[in-house]
Amino acid sequence: MTSSYSAKQIQVLEGLDPVRKRPGMYIGTTGPRGLHHLVYEVVDNSIDEALAGYCTEIEIEIKEDGSCSVTDNGRGIPTDTHPTTGKSALETVMTVLHAGGKFGGGGYKVSGGLHGVGISVVNALSEWVEVTVWRDQKVYQHRYERGIPVTELTSQPDPDNKRGTRVHFLPDAQIFTETRDFDYNTLAGRLRELAYLNAGVKITFIDRRQTPSREEVYCYEGGIREYVSYMNRDKEPLHQDIIYVSGERNNVQVEVALQWSVDAYNDNLLGFANNIRTIDGGTHLEGLKAVLTRTINNIARKRNKIKEHESNLAGENVREGLTAVISVKVPDPEFEGQTKTKLGNTEVRGIVDSLVGEVLNEYLEFNPQVADSILDKAIQAFKAAEAARHARELVRRKSVLESSPLPGKLADCSSRDPSESEIFLVEGDSAGGSAKQGRDRRFQAILPLRGKILNIEKTDDSKIYKNNEIQALITALGLGIRGEEFDSSALRYHRIIIMTDADVDGSHIRTLLLTFFYRYQRQLVDQGYIYIACPPLYKIERGRNHYYCYSDRELQLRLREFPDNANYAIQRFKGLGEMMPQQLWETTMNPESRTLKRIEIEDAAEADRIFTILMGDRVGPRREFIETHGSRLNLLDLDI
Ligand code: 0RA
């Protein structure tokens, strides 16, 4: 008698009372998160059935009354009598804490951890639950209220001989005092995610609370591969196929899908353990990152993209532009951290590393063009990071020593007051020579730029910082680092004047410089620091008089004023270098007589679009743009 009494005691301890007393211990909160947790718990049981290979379809239905029903076509919860409880297996699963997983018979329940508290918790926290099981040519039904069976387990013949389980429940208002309303988007998001994570499982979601009712079907034969291509839908892929790894070692299943994009600079790595999103990462992501870095570096050396004496690419270089999903299934997951969203199982790190290493290596060996494009992208990222670090150090050093290493070819002005100082950016050494001689050195500085400066639209930070002309510009002007906040107090001149020849080359260089300023530190343009000098195209000499003309039209007008028999000579300036220093001063540099065009960009977004089209790689849109907006381009004085 005593022994059966104590057995009853144990039964009580394992019962559902503690769940109702302290629901937070089992589902985290009794707010909206906990409420949705109930659905996930039931769905996870069906997903486990799918993972075991017995279930292909799951239907989740929110009914008009706010209850939720989850139906699957799995084996159905067993209904025979359970040896230790003396109750049906179904009732045991529904009323004994943590009993659900113990019925798997050898297999493991993968949906442990955050969820996986057992379907009995849903039962405990529901006003009622009705379970329907189809198996053995019968339909079984059992109803519970607040965790307690209120009917016998009934059975009826099932002529259809179906298989499956339905768990239909209404969350208990006594527990969920804040809200009992399921959120469509929250559920839809998680169900879609589950469909991506469990390739081929068809998940139907129906919401009958709205009329007409809303229904969506999620089913992805490609699984996480489709997830990656969905995330990359608006990006340009660096390689067409999504690299895919799937394997199992020591009962740990690993699945990884990878794709790099051309135009992305961040990485986007999503980790899952037992279908649970591991927001705080963990050993699976550590393993993935380690193997990516090692494999890419090995291949880079093998393909001689990194020389022996050069240092390795860093992990973040390798991951630049990468979208990846890693999903692992672990028999006994350990979830760590405040929010229990970090996978802790140490064995997973090495398993991911070795499984992914083998496949990735082989894939890249067989697809050398993919390997090369990934390597090139990583190397670019590496150089950009190096250059950015260099530039930062330069700026830091400068501020420490309080002396800026100004470029040697800068002819600086004597004034140290930026508000009265101006700098002429001049194309070529010969024009630079004229400008140096013609200027007023008290407030005018000259920086000659050689050849074509880099088109920064088409390049990355590393090239920008390495380019001599651009380095000279950055230091001469006192610009900070690209993308960092613009500090106008560091600016050494408040008028930055682009002075180029009035020909095609000159206008190209002007465009490149404008693009540089716009892309490097847009505020320079926005705040009106950038100007364009307007050198004359012609000089007319007539007797002791001379006239400068700044356009063909001006030339025609002037000539029309002359009498028919007038004697005059026209000089056409092919470049600034042809002008005498005094001429250049008079016509183009003297604030009393010159014309300057200030670059003003009213609509930054539109300007950005224009710059992208004009300076980018895509010839099609550029041609089209010039064809339709050709005349408007004068606005920015960009003629290409
Ligand atoms: C225990 C044992 C077996 C299946 C299940 C539980 C099971 C539970 C749920 C919950 C929702 N859907 C489910 N489907 C199955 C295995 C039974 C057997 O061996 O036939």
Arithmetic mean of pLDDT, 216-244: 94
Distance 331 CA to ligand 1 centre (A): 17
From the options 3.30.565.10, 3.30.230.10, 3.40.50.2300, 3.20.20.60, give the CATH code of 224-376. Answer: 3.30.230.10
Does residue 528 contact residue 598 with C-beta atoms inside 8 Å?
A: yes
Q: How confident is the model at residue 19 (pLDDT cuts 50, 70, 90)?
A: very high
In this prediction the pTM is 0.62
Whose Cα sits closest to atom 2 in ligand 1? 103
Say how many CA atoms lie within 13 Å of 610 toward its Cβ. 24
Residue nearest ligand 1's atom 20 by CA: 75
| Residue among 46, 47, 72, 75 to mutate when testing ligand 1 (max atoms within 8 A of CB) | 75
User: How many of the other CB atoms lie within 10 Å of CB of 426?
Assistant: 28
- 402/358: higher pLDDT: 358
Q: What is the pLDDT of residue 105?
A: 38
Candidates 94, 102, 115; CA nearest to 38 is 115
- CA-CA-CA-CA torsion sign (161, 164, 169, 175): positive
Which residues are CB-neighbours of 198 under 8 A, at least 6 positions away? Answer: 47, 50, 51, 223, 275
Is-contact 192 218, C-beta < 8 A? yes
pLDDT at 99: 59
Q: Kindly state the tokens that stand for 18.
A: 């503690």
Ligand 1 centre to CA of 133 (Å) is 10
Query: Which of 44-53, 212-221, 261-270, 581-590 has the lowest average pLDDT?
Result: 261-270
Q: Is the pLDDT of residue 614 over 90?
A: no
User: Ligand 1 mean position to 75 CA, how many Å?
Assistant: 6
For residue 361, report the distance from its CA to the centre of ligand 1, in Å: 40
d(CA 405, CA 236): 41
pLDDT for res 339: 76
51 has a pLDDT exceeding 50: yes
Per-residue pLDDT at 455: 65
Q: What angle do CA 58, 62, 66 make, to 5 degrees?
A: 150
CATH number of 17-218: 3.30.565.10
Q: How far is the CA of 145 from the centre of ligand 1 (A)?
A: 22
Mean pLDDT, the chain, integer: 85
C-alpha of residue 124 to centroid of ligand 1, in Å: 19
Average pLDDT over residues 427-451: 91
**In a mutational test of the pocket of ligand 1, which residue from 40, 49, 138 has the highest number of ligand atoms less than 8 Å from its CB?**
49
* Atom of ligand 1 at shortest range from CA of 135: 20
The residue to mutate among 39, 42, 45, 135, having the most atoms of ligand 1 within 8 angstroms of its beta carbon, is 45
SS3 326: strand
Instruction: Give me the mean pLDDT over the 197-218 stretch.
Output: 96
Residue 633: pLDDT band by 50, 70, 90 thresholds? very low
Domain ranges of the chain: 17-218, 224-376, 399-535+573-601, 606-640
Are 580 and 430 in contact, with CB atoms under 8 Å apart? no
160 alpha carbon to ligand 1 midpoint, in Å?
19
17-218 shares its CATH topology with 224-376: no
Nearest C-alpha to atom 12 of ligand 1 is from which residue?
46
Confidence of residue 302 (pLDDT cuts 50, 70, 90): very high
pLDDT at 86: 86
How far from the centroid of its chain's Cα atoms is residue 262's Cα?
A: 12
Cβ-in-10-Å burial (0-12, 13-18, 19+) of 451 comes to exposed
Mutation test residue for ligand 1: of 45, 47, 60, 77, the one with most atoms within 8 Å of CB: 77
* Average pLDDT of span 210-219: 95
Q: Answer whether 496's CB lies under 8 Å from 444's CB.
A: no
Residue 462 clears pLDDT 90, i.e. is over it: no
From the alpha carbon of 55, which atom of ligand 1 is closest? 14
Task: Name every residue whose Cβ is closer than 8 Å to that of residue 284 and which is 6 or more positions away in sequence.
Answer: 254, 271, 273, 278, 326, 328, 343, 348, 349, 352
pLDDT, mean of residues 266-289: 92
The CATH architecture that domain 399-535+573-601 belongs to is 3-Layer(aba) Sandwich (3.40)
549 CA from centroid of ligand 1 (Å):
91
Q: Does the structure show a pLDDT above 80 at 21?
A: yes
Residue nearest to atom 10 of ligand 1 (CA): 45
Closest protein CA for atom 4 of ligand 1:
77
pLDDT by residue (tens digit) across 61-83?
A: 999 999 999 999 999 999 999 87
Residue 459 has pLDDT above 70, yes or no: no
**Residue ID of nearest Cα to ligand 1 atom 8:** 77
Pocket of ligand 1 (CB under 6 A): 45-46, 49, 72, 74-75, 77-78, 103, 165
Q: Is the pLDDT of residue 108 over 80?
A: no
Q: What is the distance in A from the centroid of ligand 1 to the CA of 65?
A: 27
**Inter-residue long-range contacts of 54-58, CB under 8 Å, 24+ positions, other chains counted:** 55/164, 55/201, 56/200, 56/201, 56/202, 57/201, 57/202, 57/203, 57/204, 58/201, 58/202, 58/203, 58/204
Q: What confidence category does residue 604 fall into, taking pLDDT thresholds of 50, 70 and 90?
A: very low
DSSP assignment, residue 114? T
| 12: pLDDT strictly greater than 70 | no
d(CA 45, CA 224): 20
Indicate which residue's Cα is closest to atom 6 of ligand 1: 77
Q: Is the pLDDT of residue 634 over 50?
A: no
Range list of β-strands (E), 250-352: 252-260, 268-273, 276-277, 322-329, 335-336, 342-343
Could you give the residue numbers annotated as active site? 427, 501, 503, 505
CA distance 356 to 258: 11
Q: Using CA positions, which residue lies closest to atom 5 of ligand 1?
A: 77
Ligand 1 atom showing the smallest separation from residue 70 Cα: 11
What integer is the mean pLDDT of 135-145? 97
Q: Which tokens in the block code for residue 598?
A: 């200030």
User: 7: pLDDT confidence band, cut at 50, 70 and 90?
Assistant: very low
